[in-house]
Amino acid sequence: MQILIADDFPLFRRGVKELLTDGLGAVTVAECGNSYDLLELARRKKWDAVILDITMPGSSGTETLKQLKAECPKLPVLVLSMHPEDQYAVRMFKAGADGYLSKASAPEELVEAIKKLLGGGQYVSPSLGEKLALTVKASTAGLPHERLSDREYEVMCFIASGKTVSEIAETMHLGVTTISTYRARILEKMNLKNNAELTRYALERRLVS
């Protein structure tokens, strides 16, 4: 069994590797820390599953996932992110994810999710299942935040969570000027005036916790 972990924090990758080894037994786990290496490894070798972080050097998590699925459509991908389920899960499933877990989830949930994917299924936690059902029922396509690109949506969530432009730039491995440009586009697309209005909007719709 071959599993590939893509995350830019070596210590976190080591922890995930230990959990998989303890929970699955005979498993070979490889690691990489950016989108470019992930795609290169996916092209060179056959994997049974990929565990993917959303925020890494290179392209955004959704862009990376879309490209990975375009090249390896049958490869199961579990998104493991620091972002809560209600912020990113719907977008990641639309991009092709087979499962979504927050990094705050219990360790045993990771093993359970990987087993589900290896068995040909998808992993959705009970709480996320309810959110997805409500999202489909409500049909949020007409809401302002749905006009944002995946990268803009990511920046919006960081701003609404109280991060500064420089903090967002460091987290996303982008320049401060680039983040400022994204912020301006976000406000324009959503017809909002400033960060305070954006934060209020996100909180009211539970896009951030």
* Tens-place pLDDT, residues 29-38: 999 999 999 9
The domain spans of the chain are 2-138, 140-204
Tens digit of pLDDT per residue, the chain (209 long)?
Answer: 999 999 999 999 999 999 999 999 889 999 999 999 999 999 999 999 999 998 887 677 788 999 999 999 999 999 988 877 766 788 888 889 999 998 888 888 999 999 999 999 999 877 677 666 555 555 545 788 888 888 899 999 999 999 999 999 998 889 999 999 999 999 999 999 999 999 999 988 888 87
- The predicted model scores a pTM of 0.70
Second-level CATH architecture of 140-204? Orthogonal Bundle (1.10)
Query: pLDDT tens digit string along 44-76?
Result: 999 999 999 988 876 777 889 999 999 999 999
Of 108, 140, 138, 141, the C-alpha closest to 123 is 108
CB distance 158 to 171 below 8 Å: yes
CB distance 52 to 61 below 8 Å: yes
Q: What is the pLDDT of residue 25?
A: 84
When the candidates are 1.20.1050.10, 3.40.50.2300, 3.40.640.10, 3.40.50.10540, the CATH number that belongs to 2-138 is 3.40.50.2300
